Amino acid sequence: MRRHRKIKIVATLGPASSDKETIRALWEAGADVFRLNMSHGTHETIAALHGHIRDVEAEIGRPIAILADLQGPKLRVGVFANTAVDLEEGQSFRLDLSAEPGDNTRVQLPHPEIFAALEAGTALLVNDGKIRLRVEACGADFADCTVTVGGTISNRKGVNVPDVVLPLAALSEKDRRDLEFACRLGVDWLALSFVQRPEDVLEARELTQGRAAILSKIEKPAAVKAYDSILAVSDGIMVARGDLGVECPVQAVPPIQKRLVRGARAAAKPVIVATQMLESMIESPMPTRAEVSDVATAIYEGADAVMLSAESAAGQYPVEAVRTMNNVAIEVEGDPTYREIIEASRKVQRRTVADGIVSAAREIAETTEIRAICCFTQSGTTAALVARERPRVPILALTPLTRTARQLCLTWGAHCVIVDPQERFKGAVLAAAKAAREDGFAAVSDQIVVTAGVPFNVQGTTNILRVAPCDERLITRSEA
């Protein structure tokens, strides 16, 4: 089964989508990647979901990517004697390390790392920014604040500190346990939360030891400022607009989204746009017009993937949400304006031989009667470079490695096919012609472009391009 759109769809699994039949229905509706949220569920539950996905993958005969999303450190206030209190604008309120239940004058903030980073004037956001505090004075174990936006504050509400880089690792002890569990389970991607600096990504990379690709979630102002250096050490990016919209002014999120997407595209690394894309479909079978426009915007920007969270994990209409996203993608990508925008935003990258090869492949495919660009790849680099070009024709990513095929399920336009290992380029051309015909991309009378790196099995050696017929007899005859 082939998709009739280029952007990929990530669907989060949860109580509404935890059985194999629903997971298969989600895939058939358009899901390419399944997200396992490590913030919810036991390891036993996560393992069961992983098993269901792999069972569906075996039944349909197509690679499916699995993304495990690590929780990251959670900063929360303590508890109140009366469960909740009301804070009024202008009043004083203290945060401290005392474990005594709070009242309307103070509450515990059991994170000495936060106090170490605070200074007068720092803003503190509580309960997703619904309550805002300004630090007036602080020390190693307290912060005296003024309430700038009041409201009801209750037990264990989350705290955001947007103005400073916190001396906290992106990986909590829970995250380290979850990371090792997910890697042993065999997930394809790990999403890293609370990234503030490139060192956070490097720490996770050392722990994964190449067992999974690392996707950095950009959800903090510090990560936006350090984006280029974080991108350089990451395998992919998620524009996590939830916390980003809390810690940054809401009006700043759309331009930030555009910058992050374009940066990842230029680096040939997949980028996901996430959070509240079809939020109303948690309870409604139809999305709002604004939500449809939001999804369309991410597609017009050239993002590699759009993501569903609670819509598919806990909503009443998980399959309908995926199908809606799929239909929006097909409609947008069929719009002539889409191609105009994609091509206007393409950055020419021709610093290396590989850059020149993939650029030539796109130009040849778009100016002649070529049906597909077929990339023979070991690590996925060749397919990622071709996808960076955002060609008009389909991309077939052929690889003998199951892990590479699965990871490429997150890459824009990549139709992944697992093939036998090849030692010579002729074998790769024959495999490409066969895959193009069998998967419905070309007829025997058509032509394809084949790219690869020779010698095979060496990463980053994309150096050869051939226009080939899909008739295997013609390929064999030309090599005689």
Question: Which residues of the chain form CATH 2.40.33.10?
Answer: 84-160
Question: pLDDT tens digits, residue range 352-371?
Answer: 898 999 999 999 999 999 99
The band of 347, judged by pLDDT with boundaries at 50, 70 and 90, is confident
Catalytic residue among 5, 6, 35, 106: 35
Q: Does residue 480 carry a pLDDT above 60?
A: no
For the question of residue 275 being annotated catalytic, the response is yes
Question: pLDDT tens digits, residue range 53-106?
Answer: 999 999 999 999 999 999 999 899 999 999 999 999 999 999 999 999 999 999
Q: What is the pLDDT averaged over residues 208-234?
A: 97
The band of 479, judged by pLDDT with boundaries at 50, 70 and 90, is low
Write out the chain in H/E/C secondary structure. Answer: CCCCCCCEEEEEECHHHCCHHHHHHHHHHCCCEEEEECCCCCHHHHHHHHHHHHHHHHHHCCCCEEEEECCCCCCECCCECCCEEEECCCCEEEEECCCCCECCCEEECCCHHHHHHCCCCCEEEECCCCEEEEEEEEECCEEEEEEEECEEEECCCEEECCCCCCCCCCCCHHHHHHHHHHHHHCCCEEEECCCCCHHHHHHHHHHHCCCCEEEEEECCHHHHHCHHHHHHHCCEEEEEHHHHHHHCCHHHHHHHHHHHHHHHHHCCCCEEEECCCCHHHHCCCCCCHHHHHHHHHHHHCCCCEEEECHHHHCCCCHHHHHHHHHHHHHHHHCCHHHHHHHHHCCCCCCCCHHHHHHHHHHHHHHHCCEEEEEEECCCCHHHHHHHHCCCCCCEEEEECCHHHHHHHHHCCCEEEEECCCCCCHHHHHHHHHHHHHHCCCCCCCCEEEEEEECCCCCCCCEEEEEEEECCHHHHHHHHC
pLDDT at 455: 81
For the question of residue 473 being annotated catalytic, the response is no
Question: Which residues of the chain form CATH 3.40.1380.20?
Answer: 353-477
pLDDT at 453: 85
For the question of residue 76 being annotated catalytic, the response is yes
Catalytic residue among 12, 122, 208, 275: 275
The band of 20, judged by pLDDT with boundaries at 50, 70 and 90, is very high
pLDDT at 324: 98
Catalytic residue among 62, 157, 197, 217: 217
Q: Does residue 472 carry a pLDDT above 90?
A: no
Q: Is 3.30.390.30 the CATH classification of the domain at 8-72+170-335?
A: no
The pTM of the full predicted model, rounded to 2 decimals, is: 0.94
pLDDT at 460: 67
Question: pLDDT tens digits, residue range 381-393?
Answer: 999 999 999 999 9
Better-predicted residue by pLDDT, 6 or 472: 6
Q: What is the pLDDT averaged over residues 295-324?
A: 98
pLDDT at 112: 94
Averaged pLDDT of the chain: 95
Question: pLDDT tens digits, residue range 429-450?
Answer: 999 999 999 999 999 999 999 9
Question: Among residues of the chain, what percentage have pLDDT more than 70?
Answer: 99
For the question of residue 477 being annotated catalytic, the response is no
Question: Which residues of the chain form CATH 3.20.20.60?
Answer: 8-72+170-335
Catalytic residue among 3, 20, 54, 76: 76
What fold, for 353-477? Pyruvate Kinase; Chain: A, domain 1 (3.40.1380)
Q: Is 1.10.443.10 the CATH classification of the domain at 84-160?
A: no
